[in-house]
Structure 1
């Protein structure tokens, strides 16, 4: 069995014209990226729109990409910046679509990739936990929420988070600690045991230590 190609190898192949490599990246990252955006925005429709816009920018910027950082860091930097832009606008205006034809009149790049479908609720308790966690996340200051979601949802190292958000690494870790404290208080106030939150995979976060 051949070894699965890394994100960076797939993007390099896409730069050489391998559309299937981009489709593989899309399948690999679409669901976690959507969850990241949903955690940041608290709005499913906007999260779907910005996920599409993020991948559109990946397509447009792929030719100039150089491997100075992980592909996932580039992906989430774009998504994070779109979230910042979104927060500054009174309403969202869609600016592009992955359904557009590619360069030189090629077919849409993602015609063969099915659209994202959020996973169904597993149980009422799990659903309530997700709702409480989302409300708690949205109640955090934006700078704490983005560090928490980048670290726990996207798995970005603190050093790269600091570069993405424009602070030093110690500040990023400090924001993470404050975010964890705020979330734990919110879960406790809602009568949800922290261990349950850690064990429930559908939340998409680990509630670990900074």
Structure 2
């Protein structure tokens, strides 16, 4: 980011390549609609460009980036609050052959083993349904932590609450997901090999 701030356009391309997919996944899970998520992602990168001169490395770039994305998601959700969001289980209307597959299945799954991939393919629709039932602040923390890998301290900075509040929301999110998944017929822990099954 500092290189881009100094006028290196290639540095911006590197930032987009590195952060585009995880930020898009966060936005998509926040707003629940692919077209809106793409719009918000574009707005996020435009805001990064427009705010480049103001950027100061007080916090990590990812914290700054996710704060921008989150604020734009909140604004988009407020503007579209009257509109019903599309579920990640709804069929995708993509030109790339994904038509008919649920939106959630089209999200990248970096480096998953075939066994874990099969496990996740079975669980993903149920997890997405359970996730969408969580209160927004719990869902937001869960997505930032489990899908984007953001540490609790940075999530606190992004969301503007204390780290203890973030950890509490995560605990409630996990409890809510376990309860909802149990209602949907999924037994056992949410974790596999020590990680939450979120991929």
- TM-score if structure 1 supplies the norm length? 0.70
1:35 to partner: Cα distance: 0.9
Cα separation, 2, equivalents of 1:17 and 1:171 = 39
Asked whether the equivalents of residues 37 and 51 of structure 1 are also in contact (C-alpha less than 8 Å), the reply is: yes
**Corresponding residue to 2:174 among 171, 177, 180:** 180
What is the TM-score of this pair, normalised by structure 2?
0.74
Contact 1:187–1:194 (CA<8 Å) still a contact in 2?
no
Larger radius of gyration, structure 1 or 2?
Answer: 1
**Counterpart-to-counterpart distance in 2, 1:52 and 1:169:** 29
Counterpart of 2:20?
30
Q: Superposed, which structure 2 residues align to 1:121-160 within 5 Å?
A: 126-160=120-154
Contact 1:42 1:134 in 2 (8 A): no
Change (3 A) 1:119 1:154: closer
Q: How does 1:55-204 map to 2 (within 5 A)?
A: 55-90=45-80, 118-119=107-108, 126-194=120-188, 198=192, 203-204=198-199
Cα RMSD of the aligned pairs, angstroms, is 2.7
Equivalences, count = 169
Task: Provide structure 1 residue ranges, at least 5 long, that are not aligned to the other structure.
Answer: 1-10, 93-116, 205-210
Following superposition, the deviation at residue 83 of structure 1 comes to: 1.4
